[in-house]
Structure 1
């Protein structure tokens, strides 16, 4: 079963591919788009959900998104057309780490896409290359809420706890101006939506050749979440400004 299809099905009932509810996304964008006429870039935009919300909320915002998934970008184009914001959205089908633009951006987003750059600090280094003077970065990544098992680290990556994560960001030349640590409700809601929506699709489409694999993926992911990392893994979203310059 193609990874793009799995992702699209799994996120049908939770379009933001991160453990953030609608209120949290709206609050973060309100803080990040302080003027309302910013030029915005999303590195690893997926289906463009962050950009579509920014464009809908702020009619003077212009946005660009970068992603390797043509399926996700096609979804973003279709949604932009339905919302009437397609004239203010440009999408690029390429690796986010390789993207180059002829202009800078007032806000650079990368939420849940740090793996594409090799970690949080490399993600911020890439974002800095695109940032206009006075600009902001909105970045989201995993963290450990308590000491993880070795299996959890091997499965999800070598994160840090919240104080260490913030210390590393500050030492890298950034000042946090706002942040949100996902609540238990957001974390569980994200995982239940991911596994449940995929499993429901499989049960509703048992004649589809992909249904058995979809159900197996949902079952395996649910077991890993509940048994390996539910009690230790969290997610933090930060709005950052360069400390100097």
Structure 2
């Protein structure tokens, strides 16, 4: 069982570290595999679940996952080994900022654009540099479904600001400005968000209910309550777009 290092079960109910259902993951993998990538680069890969599924669907491909979380990378390697993908999947612990990895036929960047730059245009320029001319980018990026109020922002994450995200139209325009065309645009549903946020906390919530007098209970309760209050505030306000992007080739 995965724990947080304190003995408290930690994220064992999550398959993906984001609002992504099995049905949508299957559709994404099938669509991206049809382009027959030979190389896959996963920025901020975590456990690399989506990358590994793509390697299963595209047997000609090899994959490289980049992340700073040693624990997630170790679990990714274990998962690759259990699927017989050790020879085709690598996980490296390093920053993606200014990375020289790539270009790859398929670049995954789901909830990790900040690893490529503090501003989205900078991150998108980095993604254009990391993908081959005939490749694809899967960008999973937050957007405002509506402009949050100041009161809502004060109850989200520390320092939350309207400028943290764009609306979906602006997000798509920024991708086009960076040298892409959107092949497919889809957004996480409310059900996907609720399943993700519930699974993110569920292990610790059950542990807390069973160990209310534990020395770690007070800190765990504070953390859980703070996160729940935040996500119930951005529920229906913050969206996540999954954009399949095609690089525009240079004119000849």
Q: Same fold (TM over 0.5)?
A: yes
Q: In 2, Cα distance between the equivalents of 1:108 and 1:159? A: 22
1:87-118 CA-partner distances (Å, limit 9, x unpaired): 101111101114223x5210001100122222
Q: What's the TM-score, normalizing by structure 2?
A: 0.85
In the alignment, structure 1 residue 109 sits paired with structure 2 residue 134: no
* SS of aligned partner of 1:71: helix
Change (3 A) 1:5 1:100: farther
Q: In 1, Cα distance between the equivalents of 2:214 and 2:75? A: 22
Q: Which is worse superposed, 34-43 or 13-22?
A: 34-43
Q: CA RMSD in A?
A: 2.5
What is the match of residue 146 of structure 1? 146
Equivalent pairs, count? 240
List gaps (5 residues or longer) in structure 2: none
Q: In 2, Cα distance between the equivalents of 1:32 and 1:93? A: 25
In the alignment, structure 1 residue 192 sits paired with structure 2 residue 198: yes
Q: In 2, Cα distance between the equivalents of 1:124 and 1:217? A: 33
Q: How does 1:1-245 map to 2 (within 5 A)?
A: 10-101=10-101, 104-116=103-115, 117-150=117-150, 151=153, 152=156, 154-155=159-160, 158-204=164-210, 210-226=216-232, 228-245=233-250
Q: In 2, Cα distance between the equivalents of 1:232 and 1:127? A: 26
Given that residues 43 and 96 in structure 2 are in contact (C-alpha distance below 8 angstroms), is that contact kept between their aligned partners in structure 1? Answer: yes
More helix by share: 1
Please state how far the C-alpha of 1:77 moved relative to its aligned partner: 0.7
Please state how far the C-alpha of 1:173 moved relative to its aligned partner: 1.9
Change (3 A) 1:56 1:222: same
* SS of aligned partner of 1:146: coil
Given that residues 128 and 178 in structure 2 are in contact (C-alpha distance below 8 angstroms), is that contact kept between their aligned partners in structure 1? Answer: no
